[in-house]
Amino acid sequence: MLGRFDYQRPSTLPEAGRLLAGNDGPAAVLAGGTDLLVDIRGRRHDPRILVDIKRIDALRRLDVDSAGALTIGAAVPLNEIIERAAIRRTLPGLVQAAESIATYQLRNRATAVGNLCNASPAADMAPILLALGADLMAWSPHGERTMPLSSLFVGVKKTCLAADEIATELRILAPEPGLRSGFLKQQRLRGHDLAVSSAAGTYAPSTGVLRLAVGSCAPTPLLLEPIEVGRSSKAVVEEKAVRAVQAAMRPISDTRASADYRRAVLPVLVKRLVADLLAEGGAP
């Protein structure tokens, strides 16, 4: 059984803001609901009011402009991202991450922004969006703000968003010429499952910069410091990446895997990812 709460479905952001601000108890924003409703059923979340933002047209924007910059609204389902040809062509790592989440049916509901705002350390969309340098837009009755995605996560299932603040969209700058991106995930089961460990990255041959981010290895998803590839061999770059991950990760043991298993698996994923990103002539 779900908890007892008031359900509202506003059609504008100001209306949604008033509902959140005017509530005298815990409130929750519903986008896809694939995480939230499970948490409510499991009594991990007990809102007095559920504000469904799916009807707000401003949040359903999915746009790739002429330069290649991408905007993803908070109410855009993952399958719309996966099926957009321009995204598949220029940002394959983003598509790989989205495809790894749940099942096709659930991806018709689940959203990228919702996956981030759930703030799970294992959030599949977080590493690739961190590596891509995504910004998150947020709206409240007091105004709008833009933040680097890396500042959203403050702890396990905790974000920096205020109680009356709504994450509205993600923005990703036009990719550098020839940018390569990728996502790898270790999970217990084939098909759909939460990540035991995950890694994502981008490599820009035009600048020689490698950016990596990892998930399910610390209280929050982690963005690592950029690595300058230069004339380094693949082996040297892979070793730098592995050392950076080992220094940053703080895994725990849970029902999916032990901390020791995560310490063993994640460097392997990162090494494989780096090799894939550099394989098209990036480094000799």
Q: What is the pLDDT of residues 121-175, one digit of tens each?
A: 999 999 999 999 999 999 999 999 999 999 999 999 999 999 889 999 999 999 9
In a domain? residue 284: no
61 and 158 fall within a common domain: yes
Residue 253: how many other CB atoms lie within 10 Å: 11
In a domain? residue 129: yes
68 and 163 fall within a common domain: yes
45 and 15 fall within a common domain: yes
User: CA 180 to CA 278: how far, in whole Å?
Assistant: 9
95-113 pLDDT per residue, tens: 999 999 989 999 999 999 9
Q: For 230, what's the count of Cα atoms within 13 Å in the CB-facing half-sphere? A: 7
For residue 280, what pLDDT band results from cuts at 50, 70 and 90?
low
| CATH number of residue 96's parent domain | 3.30.465.10
165 and 143 fall within a common domain: yes
The residue out of 151, 172, 193 marking a domain boundary is: 172
| CATH number of residue 215's parent domain | 3.30.390.50
25 and 88 fall within a common domain: no
19-55 pLDDT per residue, tens: 988 777 788 999 998 888 888 888 888 898 999 999 9
The residue out of 121, 143, 172 marking a domain boundary is: 172
106 and 141 fall within a common domain: yes
In a domain? residue 15: yes
Residues facing residue 63 across a β-bridge: 71
User: CA 123 to CA 118: how far, in whole Å?
Assistant: 8
> Which structural domain range is residue 46 located in?
6-52
In a domain? residue 189: yes
pLDDT, position 46: 87
Residues facing residue 52 across a β-bridge: 30
Given a cut of 80, whether residue 264 has pLDDT beyond it is yes
**Amino acid, res. 42:** G
User: CA 229 to CA 15: how far, in whole Å?
Assistant: 49
In a domain? residue 147: yes
Q: Both ends of the chain: CA-CA distance in Å?
A: 58
Nearest-Å Rg of the Cα atoms of the chain is 19
User: CA 45 to CA 32: how far, in whole Å?
Assistant: 16
State the total domains in the chain. 3
pLDDT, position 282: 42
86 and 149 fall within a common domain: yes
pLDDT, position 191: 55
188 and 161 fall within a common domain: no
Angle formed by the axes of helices 234-248 and 259-278, nearest 10°: 150
DSSP string, 106-161: HHTT-BHHHHHHTT-TT-THHHHHHHTT-EEEEEETTEEEEEEGGGTEEETTEES-
pLDDT, position 188: 80
In a domain? residue 194: yes
**Selection from 46, 77, 50 nearest residue 62 by Cα:** 77
User: CA 200 to CA 205: how far, in whole Å?
Assistant: 17
The tokens describing 269, both together, are 């994923």
144: CB partners within 8 A, 6+ apart: 137, 138, 168
In a domain? residue 271: yes
- pTM score, whole prediction: 0.94
206 and 191 fall within a common domain: yes
| CATH number of residue 39's parent domain | 3.30.43
In a domain? residue 1: no
33 and 79 fall within a common domain: no
88 and 195 fall within a common domain: no
Angle subtended at Cα 226 by Cα 221 and Cα 232, rounded to the nearest 5 degrees: 130
The residue out of 172, 199, 232 marking a domain boundary is: 172
Distances (CA, A) of 61 to 101, 123, 128, 147, 176: 21, 22, 20, 19, 23
162 and 266 fall within a common domain: no
pLDDT, position 37: 87
172-230 pLDDT per residue, tens: 999 999 999 999 999 886 656 789 999 999 999 999 999 999 999 999 999 999 999 99
